[in-house]
Amino acid sequence: MISFRLDGRSVVPPYLQIVQQVRQALRMGVLDVGDKLPTVREVVAATAVNPNTVLKAYRDLEREGLVEPRAGLGTFVVGRPSGPPPGTHSRLARSLAQWVRSAREAGLDDDSIESLLRITLRAAAEEETA
Amino acid sequence: MMASSDPAVIQTRGLSKHYRNVTALSDATVTVPEGRISALIGPNGAGKTTLLRLLAGLARPTGGEVAVLSSRPAQDPAFLADIGFLAQEIPLYRRFTAEDHIGIGAHLNPRWDAGSVRKRLESLGIPLDQKVGTLSGGQRAQLALALTLAKRPRLLLLDEPVAALDPLARRQFLAHLAEAVADGGLTVVLSSHLVADLERTCDHLILLAASRVQLCGDIDTLLAEHQILVGPVKDTTAIERDHTLVHAVRTARQATLMIRRNGPVIDPAFQAADVSLEELVLGYMGQQTTTPAHAHLSMIGEDQ
Amino acid sequence: MTWVVWRQHRNQAYLAAAALAAFAIVLLITGTQMASQYQSALASCTVSHRCSNLANTLTLGSPAVTLLVTLTVVVPCLLGVFWGGPLVAREFETGTTQFAWVQSTTRGRWLTVKVGWALLAAAAWGGAVSVLVTWWSGPENALQHQIFQPSQFDIQGIVPIGYAVFAVALGIATGALLRRTLPAMAITVGVFTLLRLVVGQDFRSHYMTALTRTFSFVHAPPLPAGAWVVAGGMVGPGGQTFSSQTGSGAHLNIEGVPVNPANLPAACRALVFQGPQKLFPCMNARGYHGFITYQPVGRYWVFQGIETGIFVLMAAALLAVTAIVVLRRDA
């Protein structure tokens, strides 16, 4: 059974930390298809996190097709996170390098680029959940 | 998740409490939806205890309206059975044992889960037959919370319940609370100074300062609505016109602004950053964050 | 709620029960002894026809127990201070009202049950002590006919119940107003004592219009047995009264009536030291008679009832104040 560790100081919101830890556990084989996730109550008892946070995380995972709630039994793993198709990484890395170059030319330093990236990721995530 | 059509567990409008020459609470309009764990934050003397007492019916307002569980707080057994209140001083009968308190609760409440109290105390290693006055502050707080939950209330009002607890006890206390909420049918309002704990366990915020409500709403929404802008000192009228300026610190060269956004911020001169709960709270109380995330708000709170 | 009240006060109740039991044992033993002592003294004096002076010659019981009985006059005050004062005040002081008033019992029920039991206990204890004292005093009452005197009136009959109920109500009300135990206890002692004195000494004699009897010193009848003589003195031919208050200086006791020699007619003054056979005809001839103002013993129970009623009414008023203060003020 997976146990969650929430970092209070991280900029990543708690529900996203749970989602990421489930994905990571699946990638590393700690969790596999058919395994049961801890109940909301168990997570809450262990981490003192708000129950709605856990519900939100589990819903996100359900939407990604990774888990499935079964009435009366719990939430079970039904899939693994898919990797990107081959070639995607290098293609994306190239266009990213290009963008970084133009950002540098415009005068942005590393911190500005990072902060811009964070905000864009956040906005994109909000758009997806809306 | 609850539907937005559920009536709010707490709804106040223009709520005020004046004493002879002191205003404890002024024009407070607050909404707390069902199933939330709401953090009531503010410096000493801001009106947190007053608000909680008004909600529990222990004090009468001098103005405004207050509805708790859809009715006015009153001396009504049904209403009293649905609420739980824990005062800051942890008022228990010092010469009675925990078991005595369980007996008192059983005789005074229609719904009473004595087993839950005993089980909880056993798991925490708190003796049932020792006089409460001889227990430590943390043990008394745990006992008091267990007793309040044994009533099976629908709304729990807690006044600084973790102030006297060490970090482990605090974590256990909040975990117990969150578990009770996870079981369903419970809404919690707890006041505290410690932002880090609240951030993890709470999903709703009521911010009081100078006896007024500064913020009230879901934490995620409030955080998304606010932003920190750091940039050169320059004319910021455009920003201030388009958005609400909450707090600004200006040195000779640099300006750090906290704003409440009305739409996206388009000003390339400023670096935007997300706001943490602690920054949000301190911003509305007029301070800049200089201390790490686990700072005590009470260190910068106003005097009583 | 009754269970809670019992649990909160059971140690007090045990203590008071033990004290009452001890007191009862002492009184039952000595009382029986005194009763048989009195009966045998009565039997022997009847045989020898010398009963008229029994009141002066017979001493019943021991001084220690008599003192104990006299001291029961403080029982109502003690009940008020220790049962009434802390009842509500202590819960305010320790903050436990913030625990009790957020259980599912309303403030009204909480107060009613607590106060109800406290008053019931006060009446029961005050009544028990009074029953014991009244029974124990039987022989003494028959011998001395003094039940109407304050020292006896206050500790026998039903007034101790009224005092106890009032004292506890006073303690509760003060505690509810001040929300502090020690000041409430202190004020209860002060106010209770004051009211008892005022009612006993100033009001009591006026519950019913006192009777007045004028008599000739020559044929002075005995004082009505057991009566409470409120005032007495001499009345002159013109109707002017000389009570023991008029004029200062030494008073003569003439047939139980205090008389200031300065008020005697001039002609009779010289006869004062020549004895009653010379003095009385002189006074009688000049129209100087004696008078007493008194409450007859037949009115004893009426007076007991009226005084008890006064204290119970005052208690009711205090309870109304308590209810208003507790129910309407912020916790």
Cβ atoms < 10 Å from Cβ of C173: 28
Range list of H helices, chain C? 2-47, 54-57, 63-71, 75-79, 85-94, 97-100, 107-136, 138-144, 150-153, 159-178, 181-197, 266-269, 276-285, 300-328
Q: How far is C105 from chain B (nearest CA, A)?
A: 6
Task: Say if CB B92 and CB B148 are below 8 A apart.
Answer: no
Task: Say if CB B195 and CB B186 are below 8 A apart.
Answer: no
pLDDT of the residue at B289: 39
Nearest CA in chain C to B91: C96
> Which chain B residues in 135-174 lie under 8 Å from chain A, judged by CB atoms?
171, 174
Q: Please give the residue that has the higher pLDDT: either C169 or B19.
A: C169
Please state, in angstroms and rounded to a whole number, the distance separating the CA atoms of residues C42 and C57: 12
Provide mean pLDDT across the span C218-232: 83
Q: How far is B169 from chain A (nearest CA, A)?
A: 12
Provide mean pLDDT across the span C221-246: 79
Q: Cβ contacts (< 8 Å) between A6 and chain B: which residues?
A: 200
Domain boundaries, chain A: 14-77, 88-129
Chain-wide mean pLDDT for chain B?
A: 86
Q: Please give the residue that has the higher pLDDT: either C231 or B85.
A: B85
pLDDT of the residue at A88: 67
pLDDT of the residue at B149: 92
- Whether C265 has a pLDDT exceeding 60, the answer reads yes
Domain boundaries, chain B: 35-53+77-219, 221-300
pLDDT of the residue at C255: 65
Q: Which chains touch A (3 or more CB pairs under 8 A)?
A: B
Query: Are C94 and B84 a contacting pair at CB < 8 A?
Result: no
pLDDT of the residue at B231: 85
pLDDT of the residue at A7: 83
CA quadruple C81, C85, C91, C93: dihedral sign: negative
- Whether B114 has a pLDDT exceeding 80, the answer reads yes
Q: Cβ contacts (< 8 Å) between B1 and chain A: which residues?
A: 52, 55
Q: Cβ contacts (< 8 Å) between C103 and chain B: which residues?
A: 80, 104-105, 108-109, 151
B108 touches chain C (CB under 8 A): yes
HEC profile of B127-163: CCCCEHHHCCHHHHHHHHHHHHHHCCCCEEEEECCCC
Side by side, which strands form the sheet with C228-235?
A: C211-215, C289-295, C228-235, C241-243
Please state, in angstroms and rounded to a whole number, the distance separating the CA atoms of residues B157 and B49: 10
Q: Cβ contacts (< 8 Å) between B274 and chain A: which residues?
A: 11, 118-119, 122
Q: What is the DSSP letter of B250?
A: E
B75 touches chain C (CB under 8 A): yes
Q: What is the DSSP letter of B242?
A: H
Query: Are B272 and A119 a contacting pair at CB < 8 A?
Result: yes
pLDDT digits (tens, 9 = 90+) for A68-92: 999 888 899 988 877 665 456 667 8
Please state, in angstroms and rounded to a whole number, the distance separating the CA atoms of residues C163 and C127: 10
Tokens of C284: 């009688």
Query: Are C103 and B108 a contacting pair at CB < 8 A?
Result: yes
pLDDT of the residue at C268: 80
Provide mean pLDDT across the span B144-149: 93
Q: Please give the residue that has the higher pLDDT: either C182 or C254.
A: C182
Provide mean pLDDT across the span B152-171: 89
User: Touch between chain A and chain C (3+ CB pairs, < 8 Å)?
Assistant: no
B6 touches chain A (CB under 8 A): no
Please state, in angstroms and rounded to a whole number, the distance separating the CA atoms of residues B177 and B145: 8
pLDDT of the residue at C46: 83
Please state, in angstroms and rounded to a whole number, the distance separating the CA atoms of residues A7 and A84: 28
Tokens of C90: 């202590």
Report CA C113 to chain centroid distance, whole Å: 30
Task: Say if CB C242 and CB C231 are below 8 A apart.
Answer: no
Q: C259: which strand partners?
A: C252
Query: Are B105 and C103 a contacting pair at CB < 8 A?
Result: yes
C1 touches chain B (CB under 8 A): yes
| CA-based nearest residue to B32, from B139, B135, B155 | B155
> Which chain C residues in 259-278 lie under 8 Å from chain B, judged by CB atoms?
none
Tell me which H or E stretch contains B221: helix B219-225
Please state, in angstroms and rounded to a whole number, the distance separating the CA atoms of residues B165 and B144: 13
| CA-based nearest residue to C305, from C195, C207, C215, C226 | C207
pLDDT of the residue at C278: 79
Q: In this complex, which of B181, B183, B200 lies closest to A6 when CB atoms are compared? A: B200
B189 touches chain C (CB under 8 A): no
HEC profile of B103-128: HHHHHHCCCCCHHHHHHHHHHHCCCC
Q: Cβ contacts (< 8 Å) between B183 and chain A: which residues?
A: 41
Q: In this complex, which of C94, C108, C330 lies closest to B58 when CB atoms are compared? A: C330
pLDDT of the residue at B272: 85
Q: How many residues does chain A have?
A: 130
Tokens of B247: 């707090």
- Whether C160 has a pLDDT exceeding 50, the answer reads yes
Query: Are B91 and C97 a contacting pair at CB < 8 A?
Result: yes
Q: Cβ contacts (< 8 Å) between C100 and chain B: which residues?
A: 108
pLDDT of the residue at C244: 61
Domain boundaries, chain C: 73-207+298-331, 228-295
Nearest CA in chain B to A50: B201
Please state, in angstroms and rounded to a whole number, the distance separating the CA atoms of residues C109 and B96: 22
pLDDT of the residue at B28: 93
Provide mean pLDDT across the span A62-66: 90
pLDDT of the residue at C101: 92
Please state, in angstroms and rounded to a whole number, the distance separating the CA atoms of residues C111 and C107: 6
Query: Are C106 and B109 a contacting pair at CB < 8 A?
Result: no
pLDDT digits (tens, 9 = 90+) for B23-82: 899 999 999 999 999 999 988 778 899 999 999 999 999 999 999 999 999 888 999 999
Provide mean pLDDT across the span B114-130: 93
Chain-wide mean pLDDT for chain C?
A: 89
Long-range contacts formed by C21-25: CB under 8 A, 24+ apart: C23/C68, C23/C129, C23/C132, C24/C128, C24/C132
| Sequence-ordered list of residues with C-beta below 8 angstroms from that of C23, at least 6 positions apart, any chain | C68, C129, C132
Q: How far is A91 from chain B (nearest CA, A)?
A: 29
Least confident of A42-56, B215-229, C52-66, C237-251: C237-251
* DSSP secondary structure, C204-221, as one string: GGGSSPPEEEEE-STTPP
pLDDT of the residue at C81: 96
Please state, in angstroms and rounded to a whole number, the distance separating the CA atoms of residues C152 and C137: 9
Q: In this complex, which of C7, C96, C104 lies closest to B80 when CB atoms are compared? A: C104
pLDDT digits (tens, 9 = 90+) for B203-246: 999 999 888 899 999 998 999 899 988 888 877 777 888 888 88
Q: How far is A34 from chain B (nearest CA, A)?
A: 24
**SS3 state at B37:** strand
Query: Are C104 and B77 a contacting pair at CB < 8 A?
Result: yes
Q: Which chains touch C (3 or more CB pairs under 8 A)?
A: B
pLDDT of the residue at C159: 96
pLDDT of the residue at A28: 76
Q: Cβ contacts (< 8 Å) between C101 and chain B: which residues?
A: 58
Query: Are A47 and B179 a contacting pair at CB < 8 A?
Result: no
Q: What is the DSSP letter of C127?
A: H
Nearest CA in chain A to B183: A41
Tokens of C8: 């909160």
pLDDT of the residue at C219: 79
Please state, in angstroms and rounded to a whole number, the distance separating the CA atoms of residues C196 and A42: 68
- Whether B5 has a pLDDT exceeding 60, the answer reads no
Please determine, for the modelled complex, whether the ipTM score is greater than 0.90. no
What is the pTM for the complete model shown?
A: 0.83
Please state, in angstroms and rounded to a whole number, the distance separating the CA atoms of residues C128 and C141: 19
Provide mean pLDDT across the span A22-29: 83
Candidate CATH numbers 3.30.70.1520, 3.30.920.30, 2.40.50.140, 3.40.50.300; the one for domain B35-53+77-219: 3.40.50.300
Q: Please give the residue that has the higher pLDDT: either B31 or C142.
A: B31
Query: Are C98 and B108 a contacting pair at CB < 8 A?
Result: no
B278 touches chain A (CB under 8 A): no
Helix axes C107-136, C85-94, angle to 10 degrees: 150
A14-77 in CATH: which number?
A: 1.10.10.10
B104 touches chain C (CB under 8 A): yes
Place of tokens 């990797």: A83
